[in-house]
């Protein structure tokens, strides 16, 4: 599968979002080359200069191991971790990193990037941080797969246009979520009207399925790759209720998967 040529912009946004959500000392990411090397080039938070531009070999170090195994890995004492090789200890030490987690971004069963969260203090990268890291990695995977599905086998002709579309979709999701959190009905309607205007240029068919507002809320969050539990938390719903809305939306759109439902909804102009 061809990967969107604005992956660098997407990794920058993802790294910034992870740091904002978790408060770690440093988040960073790297993309995988055709030779299966991992090149670190996306940073959120201060770096001491040792990491930018580093090329990690396949299965070497924490990130290389996460990439090779296609599984998340965390080390709350990096230098004593026995799950990895320690080829890059001098670089990690120079950056002052003590605890670190890495999650691969998998598309078409292949790692295309790795995202990291790290502390320079005694703090540990616990379950909350690792869950956020995984959620953002899955969201990025969803973005990449959806972008590919929407444009067929062709690469996005303009990286800036692809980045703009991603920002519009992100804004739409945030507006719908915010609308559900306000207590003033007029404000809620205003926020949803603004969100709706972001879809007006997208429609190329008659809207499908007669989706309810809640079903659209759930689909919008699912389009960011969020889990059902995270969607339920964002919307103040129970997990069972969130799953019910998703199942209903998929049924109305005649979709067999969440991704298919998102793609159908976007093609119909129900989502940006």
Q: Are 170 and 224 in contact (CB under 8 A)?
A: yes
CB of 251 closer than 8 Å to CB of 245:
no
pLDDT beneath 50, residues of the chain: 1-2, 4, 153-156, 159, 203-207
The whole-angstrom distance between residue 69's C-alpha and the CA centroid of its chain comes to 20
* Tokens coding 173: 């999701």
Would you state the pLDDT for residue 164? 56
pLDDT in tens, 58-114: 999 999 999 999 999 999 999 999 999 999 999 999 999 999 999 999 998 899 999
Domain identity same for 136 and 16: yes
Is residue 135 in a domain? yes
Same domain assignment for residues 167 and 257: yes
Q: Which residue, 109, 130, 151, sits at the end of a domain?
A: 151
For residues 6 and 151, the answer to whether their CB atoms sit within 8 Å is no
Residue 1 belongs to some domain of the structure: no
For residues 152 and 26, give the distance between their C-alpha atoms in angstroms, rounded to a whole number.
36
Q: How far apart are CA 220 and CA 188, in angstroms?
A: 16
217: CATH: 1.10.10.10
Whole-number pLDDT of residue 24: 97
Write out the residue range of the structural domain in which residue 249 sits. Answer: 159-267
200-215: pLDDT as tens digits: 555 444 445 688 888 9
The packing angle between helices 228-235 and 213-222, to 10°, is 130
Domain-embedded: residue 66: yes
pLDDT at 190: 77
Structurally, how many domains does the chain consist of? Answer: 2
Whether residue 2 is contained in a domain is answered as: no
Query: What's 109's domain CATH number?
Result: 3.30.450.40
For residue 272, tell me if it sits in a domain.
Answer: no
Of 101, 116, 151, the residue that ends a domain is 151
Q: Quick one: 71 and 172 in the same domain?
A: no
Helix (H, G, I), strand (E, B) or coil at 219: helix
Instruction: Give the per-residue pLDDT at 153.
Output: 44
Select from 151, 183, 212 the last residue of a domain. 151
pLDDT confidence of residue 271: 82
pLDDT confidence of residue 27 = 97
Token pair of 169 as six digits = 């979709």
**Residue 42: inside a domain:** yes
């Amino acid at each position: 599968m061809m990967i969107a040529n604005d992956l660098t912009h997407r990794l920058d946004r993802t790294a910034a979002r992870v740091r904002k959500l978790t408060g770690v000392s440093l988040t960073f990411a790297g993309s995988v080359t055709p030779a299966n090397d991992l090149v670190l080039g996306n940073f959120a938070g201060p770096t001491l200069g040792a990491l930018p531009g580093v090329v990690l070999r396949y299965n070497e170090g924490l990130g290389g191991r996460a990439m090779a195994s296609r599984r998340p890995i965390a080390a709350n004492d990096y230098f004593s971790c026995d799950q990895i090789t320690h080829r890059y200890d001098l670089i990690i030490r120079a950056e002052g990193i003590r605890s670190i987690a890495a999650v691969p971004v998998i598309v078409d069963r292949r790692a295309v990037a790795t995202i990291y969260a790290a502390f320079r203090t005694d703090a540990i990268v616990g379950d909350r941080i690792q869950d956020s890291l995984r959620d953002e990695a899955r969201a990025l995977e969803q973005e990449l797969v959806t972008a590919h599905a929407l444009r067929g086998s062709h690469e996005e002709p303009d990286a800036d246009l692809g980045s703009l579309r991603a920002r519009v979709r992100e804004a739409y999701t945030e507006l719908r979520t915010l609308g559900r959190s306000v207590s003033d009905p007029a404000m809620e309607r205003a926020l949803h009207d603004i969100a709706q205007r972001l879809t007006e240029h997208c429609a190329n068919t008659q809207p499908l399925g007669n989706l309810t507002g809640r079903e659209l809320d759930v689909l919008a969050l699912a389009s960011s790759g969020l889990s059902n539990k995270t969607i339920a938390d964002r919307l103040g719903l129970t997990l069972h209720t969130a799953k019910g809305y998703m199942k209903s939306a998929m049924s109305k759109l005649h979709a067999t998967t969440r991704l298919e439902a998102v793609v159908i909804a976007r093609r119909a102009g129900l989502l940006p």
